[in-house]
C-alpha cells in the first residue's frame, strides 16, 4: 500500500486472476529476493513508482478450489515517479482513501488498506519521537 500524502496507489489488473478489478501492486518472489525487495520491484514494474517501506501490514491467505495465494502486504510512502500502467497492470493511479475503498473488490484488501494507515502513523511516530 503506497501512500502519497492522503492518496493511495491502486492498479487495475490487466491479467487473470481478477482481470479488470482494482487492487494493489504485487507479484511473485524471485529466488534470492527478500519480501521487501519483491514488493518494491513489483511496484516499480507495475506502476513506475518508487517508495520506501514503513512496515508490515500483515500476511493474508486466499484459498480457492484451484490455488492458494499468500500475500505479504507492506505500508509504504511514495518517493518518486508518476503512476503508469506496466507489466500486469492495465491502469495505475493514486486515489483518495474513501474512493480507493470503494474501488477495491475484496474485503481482505480493504482491511489491509485501513490497517496500512495505522502502520504509517506508527512509523511516523517512531521516526519523530518528539
**Residues involved in catalysis:** 91
Question: 85: how many CB neighbours lie within 10 A of its CB?
Answer: 16
Q: Are strands 68-80 and 50-63 parallel, antiparallel or unpaired?
A: antiparallel
User: Would you call the peptide bond into 125 cis, given omega within 30 degrees of 0 as the criterion?
Assistant: no
Whole-number Å distance between alpha carbons of 90 and 106: 18
Q: What is the DSSP letter of 88?
A: T
Amino acid at each position: 500500500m503506497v501512500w502519497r500524502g492522503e492518496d493511495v496507489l491502486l492498479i487495475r489488473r490487466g491479467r487473470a486472476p481478477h482481470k479488470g478489478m482494482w487492487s494493489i501492486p504485487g507479484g511473485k518472489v524471485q529466488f534470492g529476493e527478500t519480501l521487501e525487495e519483491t514488493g518494491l520491484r513489483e511496484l516499480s514494474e507495475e506502476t513506475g513508482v518508487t517508495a520506501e517501506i514503513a512496515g508490515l501490514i500483515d500476511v493474508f491467505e486466499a484459498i480457492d478450489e484451484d490455488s492458494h495465494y499468500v500475500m505479504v502486504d507492506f505500508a509504504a510512502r511514495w518517493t518518486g515517479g508518476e503512476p503508469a500502467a506496466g507489466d500486469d497492470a492495465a491502469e495505475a493511479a493514486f486515489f483518495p482513501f474513501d474512493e480507493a475503498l470503494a474501488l477495491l473488490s475484496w474485503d481482505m484488501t480493504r482491511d489491509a488498506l485501513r490497517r496500512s494507515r495505522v502502520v504509517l502513523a506508527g512509523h511516523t511516530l517512531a521516526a519523530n519521537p518528539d
